[in-house]
Chains A and B, each alone.
Chain A
Amino acid sequence: MSVHFKMKHKICMASDFFYPNMGGVEEHIFNLSQCLLMKGYKVIVLTHSYQDRVGVRYMTNGLKVYYLPIKPFYNQCVLPSMVSSLPLIRYVLVREQITIIHGHSAFSTLAHETMMIGRLLGIQTVFTDHSLFGFADTSAIITNKFLEMSLADCNHCICVSHIGKENTVLRARVNHHRVSVIPNAVDTTAFVPKLELRTKNKITIVVVSRLVYRKGVDLLAQIIADVCLKNQKVQFIIGGDGPKRELLEDTRNNLNIGEQVTLLGSLEHSQVCNVLNRGHIFLNTSLTEAYCMAIVEAASCGLKIVSTRVGGIPEVLPPELIILTEPNVPSILQGLYKAINQVNSELGVPPIECHRKVQSLYNWMNIAKRTEIVYNMVSLEPPKSLGKQLRSYIPTGVYPFLLVVSFMHILLRLLDWWIPRSDIDLAKDYKIEDSQVNSNSSVLENQ
C-alpha cells in the first residue's frame, strides 16, 4: 500500500435498517463497513433494537453495533422525537470519539436524528440516499420536506446513481456540488455462474423482485400470458412475495400454464444465487428504480438481462450485457424474444465472460475507496457556528424547526454540565491482529 498521509476517521454508520433485517441498505452498510475496517478505520453502527436484540454487539472484524433501546414506530423506523433519545446518542458519539457520521436511507429517522445531533456537537456528516422518490403524493411531500430540512446542514450527500442524484437535488434542494455519485456494489464471489444448474431442453426466464406495483408486476402478468401461450419451450421462475402475487396466480390458473410458471415465494438472500443460476434470462419490469441490485447479481451469474429503461438502470450495466426496453408490454416482449433468440443461437457475451466483466466493474473495495475520498474532503471542512447552522435551515421555510434545533442545542449544553465529557469512559478500540492486517493490506494491493 502506498505510504501517504491518511486521516484516521472514526465513522458512525447510522440507520434504522440493519441486520437482522434484510435488504439492500443493510447489505450496503455491512459491506462498506467491512471494507472501511479493513482499511484501518474505526467503524460503529447505530441502529434501533430488534425484538430481544438490544445492547452492544460485535460482528465480523470487530464491527461494533449499538442496538439502541428505541422501539420502532412505523415501517421499522423510530419516532422522530429529536429529544427523547438525544442523551443516549450523545453519550455513544462521545464515548466512541466519532469524527464522521454517515447516515443511510431517506426513510430512516434515526439517521436524520443522529446527524442532527452530530452537527450540533460539531461532527461532520455524510448522507447516502438509496431510493428514488416521487413528488406528487402525500407521503412523498412529507418525506421530501423532512429530507430537505435534514440535508440543509449536511456536509455531503452520496447517491447511488446519476438519476438518484438528480432526484435528490430536486426534491431536497441540495446544492449539486455537495452531492456525489457512488454506486452500490455486489459481492461477485457469491454470484458465480453454475451452468450445470440450467435446464437443457427449455429456456428459463427468472424474475426476482418484490411483487408490488412499483416493480411492474402488472406488465409481468401480461408478458407471462403472451410468452407462455406462444412458446411452449419457455418457463418462468418467479422469486419474491408481495401484494401482487395473487395477480400472477390468477394468470397462471386462468390460462392453465401451471407447468410453465413456478412461484417460489419470498427467498433468503443465500438462495437467490441458486435460483438465478437455474435461468438463462433475467427479466426486470420495474417502473421506477434508483439502482437495481438484482440485475447486477444476475449479470454476475452470467444471465442475459432484459430490463425496462427507467431510473438509474441504464447506468448500471454496459450496453452489451443488457437489453433495454420501454416500460410497456410490446417493447418488453420484443426485448424478450431478442434474448430468447440469442440464447438459442448462443450469441452475445458468454456467461463466464459476463461474470468477469461485472467483477471488474463492481467491487466493494472500490466503493470504499471512493467513499474514503468523500470522508477526507468532508473532514477538512471548517466547523460551523450555531448561528450559521440555524441560518442554513432558514431557506427550508419551516421556521418552527429552528426552535427544535435551538432546543436540542440547549439540551446538549445542559447535558455537558450534567454528564460532562470527563465523566464518560472512552470506548477501547478493537484491535485487529497483525497477521490479519497484513493479509488485508495484501488484499488491498491486489485490488
Chain B
Amino acid sequence: MVGQSGTFWKSTSDNRLVLKSSIQESLKHSCIEYCVEKREKFSYTECIVVMLSLLVAAYSYLVNSTVLCSKTVFIIAVVLFIIGLRFSFKVCNESLLITAPIGLQLTTTYITGRQRVFSLPWESITDVLIVDVIHTQKVLYYLAIKTPQNGIVTLFQKSSPRLHFLEIIYKDVYKLLENNR
C-alpha cells in the first residue's frame, strides 16, 4: 500500500526544509504519508566552530607551549563534546504516517540514525488542528492532534515546519478524517 521507499511523488521545499510525500493522490482517502526533512544536516555555524577549534588545537600543538597546550586542549575537548552531544540529539527528518482505520505514527530520525516512534491508535484521534504555541522567544504554528485522553498532542515538534507546509498536511489529514469518521 505504501509506495516503495525512494520514489517520492511530490516534494515541496523552502530554504530550510523539504516536504515529501510518497502516497499517490488516489490513495489519499485511506492513507497519508508526509516527511519533513532538513535540507542541510550541519549548519554553517557548527562547521565553523569545529574548524576553528581544530585550527587552534593544531596551532597550540605547533607552538608547543605546555601551559597553553593543556588549557586549550581542555577547552577544545569541552567544545567538541558539546557539539557531539548536540549532533546526537539533532533531528534529520520527521515523518508522519496516518492510515485510516489503524492510527497515526510519527517517526523521528536523528542524524546518528537512531529512530524514535510515536504512535496513536485511530480511536484517540478526534480532530486535527493548527495551533499557535509560544516557544521560548517565538510564537510558532504547530500541527496538533486532539485526543480524548492526553488533550492536544503536537506533531513535528523538532523540525517545526512553516505554515504553508502545515496547511498542505492539514488539508489532507482533515479530508482523511472526514472520510473515515
Contact A88 B134 (CB under 8 A): yes
B127 within 8 A of A: no
Residues of A within 8 A of B139 (CB): 56, 66, 88, 91-92, 95
Closest chain-B Cβ to A377's Cβ sits at a distance in Å of 30
Q: How large is the interface on A (under 10, 10 to 19, 20 to 34, 35 or more residues)?
A: 10 to 19
B138 within 8 A of A: yes
Complex interface residues of chain A between 81 and 105 (CB less than 8 A to chain B):
85, 87-88, 91-92, 95
Q: Which applies to chain A's interface (DSSP): helix, strand, loop or mixed? A: mixed
Contact A88 B138 (CB under 8 A): yes
Closest chain-B Cβ to A145's Cβ sits at a distance in Å of 29
Q: Which one of B131, B134, B140, B162 has the highest number of Cβ atoms from chain A below 10 Å of its Cβ?
A: B134
Q: A425-B162, A425-B163 are in contact. Are A91 and B137 (CB under 8 A)?
A: yes
Residues of B within 8 A of A69 (CB): 134
Residues of B within 8 A of A68 (CB): 134
Contact A419 B138 (CB under 8 A): yes
Complex interface residues of chain A between 46 and 71 (CB less than 8 A to chain B):
54-56, 66, 68-69
Contact of A425 among B131, B134, B137, B140 (CB under 8 A): B140
Contact B134 A66 (CB under 8 A): yes
Residue of B nearest to A85 (CB): B137
Give the complex CA separation of A55 and B137 in angstroms. 12
Residues of A within 8 A of B138 (CB): 87-88, 91, 419
Contact A88 B137 (CB under 8 A): yes
Residue of A nearest to B131 (CB): A56
Closest chain-A Cβ to B156's Cβ sits at a distance in Å of 14
Closest chain-B Cβ to A297's Cβ sits at a distance in Å of 36
A427 within 8 A of B: yes
Complex interface residues of chain A between 127 and 157 (CB less than 8 A to chain B):
none
Q: Which one of B133, B137, B163 has the highest number of Cβ atoms from chain A below 10 Å of its Cβ?
A: B137
Contact of A56 among B134, B137, B162, B163 (CB under 8 A): B134
Residues of B within 8 A of A66 (CB): 134, 139
Give the complex CA separation of A66 and B131 in angstroms. 13
Give the complex CA separation of A419 and B137 in angstroms. 11
Give the complex CA separation of A325 and B50 in angstroms. 79
Closest chain-B Cβ to A230's Cβ sits at a distance in Å of 60
Residue of B nearest to A90 (CB): B137
Contact of A87 among B131, B137, B140, B141 (CB under 8 A): B137
Residues of B within 8 A of A55 (CB): 132-134
Q: A88-B139, A92-B139, A425-B141 are in contact. Are A54 and B162 (CB under 8 A)?
A: no
Give the complex CA separation of A66 and B137 in angstroms. 13
Give the complex CA separation of A85 and B137 in angstroms. 7
18 contacts across the A-B interface (CB closer than 8 A): A54-B134, A55-B133, A56-B139, A66-B139, A68-B134, A69-B134, A85-B137, A87-B137, A91-B137, A91-B138, A91-B139, A95-B139, A419-B138, A425-B140, A425-B141, A425-B162, A426-B163, A427-B132
Given pairs A66-B134, A425-B163, A426-B163, 7 additional interface contacts (CB within 8 A): A56-B133, A69-B134, A87-B137, A87-B138, A88-B138, A425-B140, A425-B141
Interface residues of A (CB under 8 A from B): 54-56, 66, 68-69, 85, 87-88, 91-92, 95, 419, 425-427
Interface residues of B (CB under 8 A from A): 131-134, 137-141, 162-163
